Amino acid sequence: MCGIIGIVGKEAVSDRLVDGLKRMEYRGYDSAGVCTVHDGQLVRRRAEGKLANLVQVLKSDDAPGNIGIAHTRWATHGAPTTSNAHPHATQEVALVHNGIIENFKQLRDELTARGRTFESETDTEVVAHLVSEQVEAGHSPADAVKTVLPRLRGAFALAIAFRQFPDFLIGARLGSPLVVGYGDGETYLGSDALALAPLTQQIAYLEEGDWVVIAREGAQIFDKDNNPVEREITTSGVSAASIEKGNYRHYMQKEIFEQPTVVAQTLSSYIRPLEQTVALPQMDFDLAGVKRITIVACGTSYYAGMVAKYWFETFARVPVDIDVASEFRYRDPVLEEGGLALFISQSGETADTLAALRHCKEHGQTIAVVVNVPTSSMAREADLLLPTHAGPEIGVASTKAFTCQLAVLAALAAHLALVKGKLSAEQEREIVRHLIEAPAALNAALAHDEDIAAMAHLIAPARDVLYLGRGPDYPLAMEGALKLKEISYIHAEGYASGEMKHGPIALIDEAVPVIVLAPSGPLFEKTVSNMQEVRARGGKVVLISDAEGIEEAGEGCLATIEMPSVHPLIAPLVYAVPVQLLAYHVACAKGTDVDQPRNLAKSVTVE
Ligand code: F6R
């Protein structure tokens, strides 16, 4: 959700700034801009739309200079136009911002009353003016920033350049992530280590309220009380190569196909294959004493949580509350002292989930986090950190992070059941055996890629699509619908299959394809009955099932997609593949922008 980068370099920075933006474009692509400091001037270039437009601008009108900042935007305040594009600047100061300044209206009124004029509709521009006022009054840039930061409410990661000071930039963070990168005679700021991957692997993660002055020779970091502080410099595991598309047409496609590997990679940290037992990281609380679990997440991660609710309740007999993070705090949830709150997130920076996490912390909950970015804010605030090892996920629609989340959650549920005495050692071994089969089953599911591609044209013309599932396949139905709507722009809804008859069945006609997720097993017959209710009303059904299920109920369907026969425990991982591939191929058939669908961004760092 907006990406920012800053370089204090030994040589020209504009190309490298753009390159950094390229690796952060998944955070937003409504506009992009750079500003360098050169010959006592702020040299600003901006363009609305994708980064490619900025590249064109820079081709004809370069931004020279060895120091600069840059931004890729996901619009919050103000339309995605060039005048609203960052960097925002005054005569003296230019800055880029990720987050929202909640009190911008009041600050803007105040600044306007003092005679300042604005050229954008953004919340960000007020910060440029506030800092500029201080600099124009003769204060040093550091003093200016020190004075202004306490005036800002909301969330921000900022990188600020100063016309008269070509040797340093100032960064600051509160609520939005910001890292400092240390190079050879160069220093960098970035929204994440990914942005800086080709420049450096030496990264310090700023803490909430920190601000920093970066110069060629290094960085001086201050905490929220303006005390100089050291933040540990770690070697980031992110390499530039891990974020290449390889031979795939889209990142999303690559990430779908990486699933057998990354799920295996993730499982290898949570199971001991020889002993066939679950191995969780050390924890300094009594897991066996957990009486209730509160799961909070957003979007796809929320659906992983819904699947996990089945597992926690079925295996461990522990009651689970689950909420979408944006609603959680506002219903004033009852959180009993000593409860376990579990947060699931790919990015670890989603503002709603992070706010819910902090709410739970304040209310005495133990915080467990399943997260793909081990250096993220959520990871750092966890009591129990359960990393997924999906690697960087660049496609805006989440795929491999989801199946890796499921792998971790299944292991956690099994372990909880074991320590609670609800599962015998032999049952634990059986669960582990099924988990070990997951990568091969994912491979078998991926083998149906061409069949799915071949039937995508049946779905592509639809205006509405329904997805049905029962039990753990109900969240999968919702995940399928989410994937389809976000990348193909077809309206889609996921329903519990038994719920159809309570209303949605009124929507059924020949123009509304219904995708039914029904692995054979105890819930199969019931789901098939619901499917027949749809067919009896002229509905066109695509059945996703295994050979046995298709044999039994596939006749008369518009199409069938065959999955390998798997144990119900790993079915949600396996059935994620066909819904991902279906959305992917429908989007390709429609010619939409698969990796950067309209209006969306990855890592949603605003509430
Ligand atoms: C959907 C998708 C989003 C994210 C959601 C949460 O494909 O990617 O729904 O799942 O924004 O993001 P994280 O998992 O980073 O907290």
Per-residue pLDDT tens over the stretch 483-493? 999 999 999 99
Scored b (16 or more CB within 10 A) or e, 162-188 reads bbebbebbbbbbbbbbbbbbbbeebbb
For residues 577 and 562, the answer to whether their CB atoms sit within 8 Å is no
- CATH for the 447-594 domain, from 3.40.50.300, 3.40.1160.10, 3.30.930.10, 3.40.50.10490: 3.40.50.10490
Q: Is 347 a pocket residue for ligand 1 (Cβ < 6 Å)?
A: yes
- Other C-beta atoms closer than 10 Å to the C-beta of 226 total 15
Which tokens sit at 498?
């038994």
Q: What is the pLDDT of residues 417-476, one digit of tens each?
A: 999 999 999 999 999 999 999 999 999 999 999 999 999 999 999 999 999 999 999 999
For residues 385 and 379, the answer to whether their CB atoms sit within 8 Å is yes
* pLDDT for the residue numbered 242: 67
Q: Is 353 a pocket residue for ligand 1 (Cβ < 6 Å)?
A: yes
Q: Is 299 a pocket residue for ligand 1 (Cβ < 6 Å)?
A: yes
The pick from 300, 375, 388 for probing ligand 1's pocket by mutation, whose C-beta has the most ligand atoms within 8 angstroms, reads: 300
Q: What is the pLDDT of residues 164-196, one digit of tens each?
A: 999 999 999 998 889 999 999 999 999 988 889
Cα–Cα distance between 38 and 42 in angstroms, integer?
6
* pLDDT for the residue numbered 534: 86
Average pLDDT, the chain: 94
Write down the catalytic residue from 400, 485, 540, 602: 602
Q: Which residues contact 230 (CB under 8 A, 6 or more apart)?
A: 221
Q: Is 345 a pocket residue for ligand 1 (Cβ < 6 Å)?
A: yes
- Specify the long-range contacts of residues 548-551, CB closer than 8 Å, at least 24 apart: 548/520, 549/518, 549/519, 549/520, 549/524
- Other C-beta atoms closer than 10 Å to the C-beta of 94 total 29
Q: How far is the CA of 393 from the centre of ligand 1 (A)?
A: 11
Topology agreement, domain 3-243 and domain 447-594: no
- Categorize the per-residue pLDDT at 236 as very low, low, confident or very high, splitting at 50, 70 and 90: confident
SS3 sequence, 72-107?
A: EECCCCCCCCCCCCCCEECCCEEEEEEEEECCHHHH
Which tokens sit at 512?
């509304």
Q: Which residues contact 69 (CB under 8 A, 6 or more apart)?
A: 4, 5, 6, 17, 34, 35, 87, 94, 95, 96, 159, 160, 161, 169, 189
Cα–Cα distance between 219 and 204 in angstroms, integer?
10
Report the run of H or E that residue 190 belongs to, with start and end: strand 187-190
* pLDDT for the residue numbered 55: 96
Question: For residue 508, which of 475, 477, 533, 545 has the smallest C-alpha distance?
Answer: 533
- Categorize the per-residue pLDDT at 504 as very low, low, confident or very high, splitting at 50, 70 and 90: confident
Cα–Cα distance between 597 and 580 in angstroms, integer?
15
Cα–Cα distance between 289 and 287 in angstroms, integer?
5
* pLDDT for the residue numbered 563: 97
DSSP 480-498: HHHHHHHHH--EEEEEEGG
Answer with the residue of higher pLDDT: 209 or 602: 209
* pLDDT for the residue numbered 599: 82
Q: What is the pLDDT of residues 10-57, one digit of tens each?
A: 999 999 999 999 988 878 888 999 999 999 999 999 999 999 999 999
Answer with the residue of higher pLDDT: 394 or 576: 576
The predicted model scores a pTM of 0.85
β-pair partners for 553: none
- CATH for the 246-446 domain, from 3.40.50.10490, 3.90.550.10, 3.50.50.60, 3.40.190.10: 3.40.50.10490
Say whether pLDDT at 123 is over 70: yes
Q: What is the pLDDT of residues 329-365, one digit of tens each?
A: 998 899 988 899 999 999 999 999 999 999 999 999 9
Domain ranges of the chain: 3-243, 246-446, 447-594
Give the pLDDT mean for 539-560: 95
* pLDDT for the residue numbered 91: 97
For residues 366 and 340, the answer to whether their CB atoms sit within 8 Å is yes
Q: What is the pLDDT of residues 75-108, one digit of tens each?
A: 888 888 999 999 999 999 999 999 989 999 999 9
Q: Is 580 a pocket residue for ligand 1 (Cβ < 6 Å)?
A: no
Say whether pLDDT at 257 is over 90: yes
- Other C-beta atoms closer than 10 Å to the C-beta of 440 total 13
Report the run of H or E that residue 340 belongs to, with start and end: strand 340-345
Task: Give the N- to C-terminal CA distance of the chain in Å, as an integer.
Answer: 11
Cα–Cα distance between 325 and 271 in angstroms, integer?
29
Q: How far is the CA of 417 from the centre of ligand 1 (A)?
A: 28
Q: What is the pLDDT of residues 566-597, one digit of tens each?
A: 999 999 999 999 999 999 999 999 999 998 88
Say whether pLDDT at 553 is over 70: yes
Which tokens sit at 59?
């081709």
602 is known as an active-site residue: yes
* pLDDT for the residue numbered 452: 97
- Categorize the per-residue pLDDT at 606 as very low, low, confident or very high, splitting at 50, 70 and 90: low
Q: How far is the CA of 540 from the centre of ligand 1 (A)?
A: 30
Helix %, strand %, coil % for the chain, to 5?
40, 25, 35
Give the pLDDT mean for 504-524: 91
- Which residue minimizes the CA distance to atom 6 of ligand 1? 298
Say whether pLDDT at 240 is over 70: no
* pLDDT for the residue numbered 258: 95
At the fourth CATH level, which superfamily is domain 3-243? Answer: Aminohydrolase, N-terminal nucleophile (Ntn) domain (3.60.20.10)
Q: Is 481 a pocket residue for ligand 1 (Cβ < 6 Å)?
A: no
* pLDDT for the residue numbered 500: 87
